[in-house]
Amino acid sequence: MVHNADFASAPNASTPVFSPRVSPGTPSGKRDVLDSIEQLGAAGNALPAGSPIRRDINTVLGDINILNNYYTQMSQHAGNFRRLSQTPKSARGQNFEQQSADEATAFHTNLLGFQNTLAQLGADKGLANYDKDDDLETVLKDLVNSVKYLLSDIDDMVYDIPDVGPILGPIVYQIKCLLDEVLDAVENLTDAIINAVKPLLQGVIGDASRTACNSGIQIAGLCLVL
């Protein structure tokens, strides 16, 4: 069952994810995402063995792998159930009802597993990797919270609709909670990527800044290239 997703409030520490094996027929968009995940994993492996960031990256990559496996299983069971539903009555065997129930049950089991893993990725209400000193992560946190508040207001409004409210209210509430978990997971993943990439780019950014400053002038600490 979907649980009530609370709003974010206070900062916390840091977390990041395993790339699934992909078949040759994998869509290019999904392949691009997986390539990016693999590159992040490679970057994490380049960090010192005891680095908390490296451990975090491997944890998140592992969770993404698990999500992908659940999704694959759900797709297979959904496809099997669809084929069963399209079977003409005259062609249905004695085990038709049992097979249909098995496919639906297996789909539901994997859906619950997907949701539990998603909840782990959204730990601490999306603040598991939040760095309060990072302006970009703070803007992301505020944006996610504003969406959560809007979803909560929509849920309250639906419940107040006469006749339809009691029927649609619980459905909208479950959707709101699931979206909250997705937002928390996205926030944690984004913060983790920012935290992981920042140290790797620090040297490059420093060199580029020094080169720019050497070629121009500085005003109030800002480099102006001539």
Beta bridge partners of 218: 223
Instruction: Report the 3 state secondary structure along 106-142.
Output: HHHHHHHHHHHHHHHHCHHHHCCCCCCCCHHHHHHHH
Residues 148, 187: contact at Cβ < 8 Å?
Answer: no
Residues 14, 55: contact at Cβ < 8 Å?
Answer: no
What the block records as the tokens of 14 is 């840091």
Contacts 24+ apart (CB under 8 A), 139-147: 140/187, 140/190, 140/191, 141/8, 141/187, 144/8, 144/183, 144/184, 144/186, 144/187, 145/7, 145/8, 147/179, 147/183
CA 55 to chain centre: 18
- Per-residue pLDDT of 67-80, as tens digits, reads 889 999 999 999 99
What is the DSSP annotation of 183-199?
A: HHHHHHHHHHHHHHHHH
**Would you tell me how many other CB atoms lie within 10 Å of the CB of residue 105?**
11
Could you give the CA distance from residue 185 to residue 199 in angstroms, rounded to a whole number? 22
Helix (H) or strand (E) holding 218: strand 216-219
- Per-residue pLDDT of 9-57, as tens digits, reads 433 333 333 333 334 444 444 445 445 445 544 544 444 444 444 445 6
Q: What is the pLDDT of residue 51?
A: 46
pLDDT band at 162, cuts 50/70/90?
Answer: confident
**Would you tell me how many other CB atoms lie within 10 Å of the CB of residue 159?**
15
Predicted TM-score of the model (pTM): 0.53
> Which amino acid does the sequence have at 20?
P
- Per-residue pLDDT of 105-130, as tens digits, reads 999 999 889 888 888 888 888 888 88
CB within 8 Å of 92: residues ≥ 6 apart = none
Q: What is the pLDDT of residue 142?
A: 93
pLDDT band at 7, cuts 50/70/90?
Answer: very low
